[in-house]
Structure 1
Amino acid sequence: MRLLVTGGAGFIGSEFVRGWLRSDPAAHVTVLDALTYSGVEHNLASVAHRPGFRFVRGDVCDPDVVDQVTAGQDAVVHFAAESHVDRSIEGAGPFVRTNVVGTQVLLDAAVRHRVGRFVQVSTDEVYGSIGEGSWTEEWPLAPSSPYSATKSAADLLALAYHRTHGLDVVITRCTNNYGPHQFPEKVIPLFITHLIDGRAVPLYGDGRHIRDWLYVSDHCRGIELALRGGRPGEVYHIGGGTEVSNHELTGLLLDAVGAGWDRVTRVADRKGHDLRYSLDDSKIREQLGYAPQVPFAVGLAATVDWYRENRRWWEPLKAGAERV
């Protein structure tokens, strides 16, 4: 299979590429990534020597570049996105451009070149917030932030191209990811690196917001199952099965680095902050055999250890992000 992976130098995309090439060293993978602030080409260093690997630095919104890299591909896995909610609140323009226009440009190329399968990688945030129970794949979209609104738009575009053009589209929606190589603006690496440096960590509001945590390799395993066996036009939820409040998460991270609650600064809650996300992932479990393999305690400990051991990776990224 010839595979195009957009956003393949990012946190989740690079994990997917590394895993795909580990399982099939002879595979042909083209990564398209603009290497904006959160894209790190070094994330792909361990597979860059593979004969079937090709890296193209380019913008998913550039029709000429996208046309060139899409030609001859059997499948597309579309990770490329602006994804940080706080940044989307400060300015939605880049999110609309990359997440909506970029997806449209890629879908057009996929139709033009008769790509066999298009996997749209999305998020549970498209549903808004849920007090009790869990969302199924048929739940109406009700995004709360500019970020989640643009992901909702991208999902709807992908489904429209399936219905209008017959493009073989599959959508995956995941819960909160964590693990090595995550850009240090997201909560788990932000807190870990702050605490390692002796700094205080910012906890939104009363910390009662609840998220289901999914180790990045489990997420990528679910994406691969959807890529290989998902039904055209279907949405699949990928969950971790571990719901934790932000307050509980903060306590776990404090314990992991031997810090106390005096290192926590309460900050004003985020605008439109969703209280709880929860996906019902029984569909992908029953139809495709998915099950998360990394327990949260094990994955969190491994993540803390990775950031302890890889300061040279995250320190310059964090410094750059804080200057933006």
Structure 2
Amino acid sequence: MRVAVTGGCGFIGSAVVRHLMQRTSHQVLNIDCMTYAASEESLAAVSSDPRYRHAPISINDRPALEKVLAEFQPDAIMHLAAESHVDRSIDGPDVFIQTNIVGTYCLLDVAHRYWLKLEAEKKTGFRFLHISTDEVFGHLAPEDPPFTEDTAYDPRSPYSASKAASDHLVRAWYHTYGFPAFVTNTTNNYGPWHFPEKLIPLMIINALEGRPLPVYGRGENLRDWLFVEDHAAALVRAVECGKPGETYAIGARQPRSNLDVVRRICALVDELEPDPAGPRERLISFVSDRPGHDFRYEIDPGHAERCLDWKAEHDFETGLRRTVQWYVDNRSWWQTLRKQRYDGRRLGVEK
């Protein structure tokens, strides 16, 4: 297959590109305009492969999209390009509207017009996979069952509202135009190359540097954690065998409270790099909760597991240990980001 991936230099996008390049024979076009959270280093292991190409263009740039799709002739598009940080969406929602809603519309329109011109066999096999979040479903009370593909939408932040709108656009193109599109919704991802403003990498880095570990509220909010390489494997399975019009909820059945996650990070950092000043849990501090902070997200991935013949391979302990070790071993990457692009004043304690 010839697969175009939008946002392929982002955290999840780069994991998808690495999976495609290292575990399949597909050709890959990475469409990424390189915003603050993009990392070319995350693709250094595959960037010299002749099957890989990077097009540094925006999904809002219609002429550039039309040109690059016409040249590459993809069999599938995996749409991961998005603004994704909730705190940033609260501070400045405009870029989330422009990228997640307007950008998705622009990409859909260009991809639809490209698809209409394909010859019959290639047109039948074409797929458009839109990658989204479980945050579009709102929040769960402690006694509620996990989210499924049938859960009603109830977004609570500018970020989740913008992603919900993009999901609706993709489904509208399927129902109205017969465009072969489908959607995945996933829960919190973690792993190597995660931008330092997100909960797990921020806590690892702050723990290594002896900085405060800020936790919203009392740290009781629950999230279902999925190792990013497991998510990438699920998405590649979806683009290879998923059905147009379907939705696949992708998760790992591994919920943890934010405070439990931070405490486990402290224990792992203490084990790998002991601090003479004492255990890192001393650095935990509780800060004012953010507006509209959803209490719990959790996904039932049963439908995706059955239909895609996929299941998360990493348990949380194994995945978190790999992640902490990676940040210990790759200081130069995140230290450079902190100096060049990262606003250290931002708490960034949540996805």
Fold match by TM threshold 0.5 = yes
1:105 is the counterpart of 2:115: no
Aligned pair partner of 1:164 in 147, 151, 176: 176
CA distance in 2, matches of 1:264, 1:236: 36
1:36 is the counterpart of 2:46: no
Gaps of 5+ in 2: 116-122, 271-278, 347-351
How many Å apart are 1:229 and its aligned residue?
A: 1.3
Number of residue pairs aligned between Structure 1 and Structure 2: 323
Gaps of 5+ in 1: none
Aligned pair partner of 1:306 in 323, 326, 345: 326
Give the equivalent residue in structure 1 for 2:2: 2
Q: Deviations over 1:133-185 (max 9, x none)?
A: 11111111100000000000000000000111111111111110000000010
Residue 48 of structure 1 aligns with an amino acid whose one-letter code is S
Q: Deviations over 1:239-292 (max 9, x none)?
A: 011010011111101111123332012110011000000111111112221211
Aligned pair partner of 2:316 in 285, 296, 306: 296
How many Å apart are 1:228 and its aligned residue?
A: 1.2
Structure 1 segments of 4 or more deviating over 6 A? none
Aligned pair partner of 2:166 in 148, 154, 159: 154
SS of aligned partner of 1:144: coil
Within-5 A mapping of 1:169-208: 169-208=181-220
Give the equivalent residue in structure 1 for 2:94: 93
Normalising by structure 2, report the TM-score. Answer: 0.90
Contact 2:207 2:280 survives alignment (8 Å) = no
Give the equivalent residue in structure 2 for 1:62: 61
Give the equivalent residue in structure 1 for 2:139: 129
**What is the percentage of aligned positions where both structures have the same residue?**
42
SS of aligned partner of 1:136: coil
SS of aligned partner of 2:343: helix
Contact 1:284 1:290 survives alignment (8 Å) = yes
Q: Deviations over 1:42-65 (max 9, x none)?
A: 211111111121101111111111
Give the equivalent residue in structure 1 for 2:274: none
CA distance in 2, matches of 1:288, 1:11: 22
1:118 is the counterpart of 2:128: yes
Normalising by structure 1, report the TM-score. Answer: 0.97
Contact 2:34 2:56 survives alignment (8 Å) = yes
Aligned CA RMSD, in angstroms, stands at 1.2
How many Å apart are 1:83 and its aligned residue?
A: 0.2
SS of aligned partner of 2:155: coil
Give the equivalent residue in structure 2 for 1:14: 14
Contact 2:187 2:225 survives alignment (8 Å) = yes
CA distance in 2, matches of 1:83, 1:68: 27
